[in-house]
Chains A and B, each alone.
Chain A
Amino acid sequence: MSLISTPRRDVAWIGRFSALLRYGVLIGVGLIMLYPLFWMVAASFKPNHEIFGSVSLWPQDPTMDGVVKGWRTGTEYSFATYLLNSFAFIMPKVVLTVVSSVLVAYGFARFRMPGKQLWFALMVATILLPKSVLLIPQYLMFREFGWLDTYLPLYVPCAFATDGFFVFMVVQFLRGIPPDMEEAAVIDGCNSLQVLWHVVVPVIMPAIISVALFQFMWSLNDFLYPLIYLSSVGKYPVALALKMAIDVTEATAWNQVLAMSTIALLPSLIVFFLAQKYFVEGITSGSVKG
């Protein structure tokens, strides 16, 4: 008995130690990665002098000053205006991106057309194109349209599936779905658009939600395009408002900037957690064999 039990106890001990080590390393690295985020949230509630004066994460002298003043901003508009401005172009941008990307991806994934391989390769190639290359020609074009200082240049291009990455993503998703369901729908009397709406869209909902979520987050974080096309402060989105808060005053009120950054994070976080269950739940389960 003792001959067997001794090594067993050893094995159990080694297993427990390795688990401890594993989780210890994971938690440690995780904390290091998240520390800037915690620091930002904590700094929102610190008085300005404490932010760079103390290494402690926890505010020694907690105050809502940064949040209140930051919300009021140094301009004639409150932070709410900038948040609403962001949504004013992000919402149409997300909708147009989803509609156009799904339509184009459906075309690439399911229809035979001459030169399809070439078109698809070209589309993928646009993903690799640096954005700054397009900046000047696009600016000139939108100036001719008289669209400067409006939100149109920010979202109208999305109606033409210009985000090759999203098209690519949906195409890959569609390729993993057997076309039988769509054929059944054709036999049931659907035309191509009805097939797309009644059958394909519900099935690729996880991909659609991913597209919407990514576009939402990236657009909220986008700094360059609003900076180029918008000139009236009253039309600025969140990203520009934050930048403005840094350089309008000589001594930047960092607690205000960080408090507003924290608030600016919230929409993305909320949207992400609301949409999370669609990533987890495979909606196709049960339709085909298995």
Chain B
Amino acid sequence: MAKGRVLLRGVTKCFGAVDVIKGVDLEIAPGELTVFVGPSGCGKSTLLRLVSGLELPTGGSIMIGDRDVTLVHPSERGIAMVFQSYALYPHMSVAENMGFGLKIAGLPKPLIKEKVAKAAEILQLTPLLDRKPRALSGGQRQRVAIGRCIVREPEVFLFDEPLSNLDAALRGQMRVEIARLHAKLGATMIYVTHDQVEAMTLATRIVVLNAGRIEQIGAPIELYRHPANLFVAGFIGSPAMNFMDGIVEAVETNSVSVRLNGATLRLPRHDAAVKPGAKVTVGIRPEHFRVGPTPADMDDDQAVEFDAIIDLVERLGGETLAHLRMPSLSDGVLVVKISGDVPLRIGTGLRVGIRLAQCHLFDADGRAVGEPAARAVVAA
């Protein structure tokens, strides 16, 4: 029994001459909450609409459960969808909105009422059932939209950026509610967002899309620790990873030496498939820089320190983002995240340390090189 499984095989979609989805293969296990993330125009919403049936694929096949639904009408796919704009019917009450699908399906009125009441209870909408959408707040409207999905008892819930119209506080609250709902219903959910925090916190697995292709699929932490390529490395994590151009100087069994602007880093790597002289990119996350003296228990192999000049300081309260110039690493400005409210003055110098094991390495094509920084996980 594969109820709730979603399987995409070689799915493509063209709008006229534009290829929006360029061959996607993906299996979503029953009960998983899969998040599609990617920049605007990467095709994540289109992919969701292909699963929903609102768009038909140009090529490939889509299975939901054990059925091939590639050409099946949206209402018969066993899916329900929450739209970014809520898409409630303005002239119907909350109860009518939630029961509309069942009414169209020809269910008897008492049964509709019962199902609506049940869903309303789950979402705490019972006191609002007689109201019109315009009398509801943004969060309530989104709950009604979710309620409309629940009453249909779908195999798969589809969410198309459901929280992006809400303010920050409400977004956080609704995020928790969706996570709770997923735990309670145990249904398969596909969730499209461009918000990393939503993706990282909600997802069982994240699918990173770029220009109509899947860049990487994996658990949130896996994507954060072991990005498969430059795109994922730059996209996951906020602020984005710092990238520095370099040239390979030497390759050994357990390390790769990379010459940056001024310094040479000896990065721990097993069986790295790069040759000396190759152009590479070294990546370091802002939170992996360390300001202050190196702890005594770290040897030179693990940590390196550099001089930096402070270019700009952004104070977020709980943490501080320092934009630093480190001529020995890069010509550009590197962003460093320091926890706490550290007193920093623009134009002054600073000593900044990095752990080599936490550095990412990408070849000229942007692919991660060798065994990714596995030791960093242990060390962290």
Contacts and interface: CB of A to CB of B under 8 A. Distances in A.
Interface of A: 178, 180-181, 183-190, 194, 198-199, 202-203, 283-289
B264 to A, nearest CB: 53
B122 interface: no
B85 A289 contact: yes
Contact of A189 (B105, B133, B141): B105
A287 B83 contact: no
Given A184-B87, A187-B52, A203-B90, 10 more contacts: A181-B90, A184-B88, A185-B89, A188-B101, A189-B101, A202-B89, A286-B88, A286-B135, A288-B86, A288-B88
B75 A194 contact: no
A137 B80 CA distance: 54
Given A185-B100, A286-B132, A199 B80 contact: no
Interface of B: 52-54, 73-76, 79-81, 83-91, 100-101, 104-105, 132-136, 138, 141, 148, 152, 165
B87 A288 contact: yes
Contact of A184 (B83, B91, B136, B138): B83
A177 B91 CA distance: 14
A286 B90 contact: yes
A187 B80 contact: yes
Contacts of B88: 181, 184, 286-288
A142 B380 CA distance: 88
A288 B165 CA distance: 10
A180 B91 contact: no
A183 B54 contact: yes
A287 B100 contact: no
Nearest to A181: B87
A178 B73 CA distance: 21
A183 B104 contact: no
B338 to A, nearest CB: 37
A289 B138 contact: yes
Contact of B136 (A194, A203, A286): A286
A202 B91 contact: yes
Contacts of B132: 286
Query: Considering residues B73, B74, B87, B136, which has the most beta carbons from chain A within 10 angstroms of its beta carbon?
Result: B87
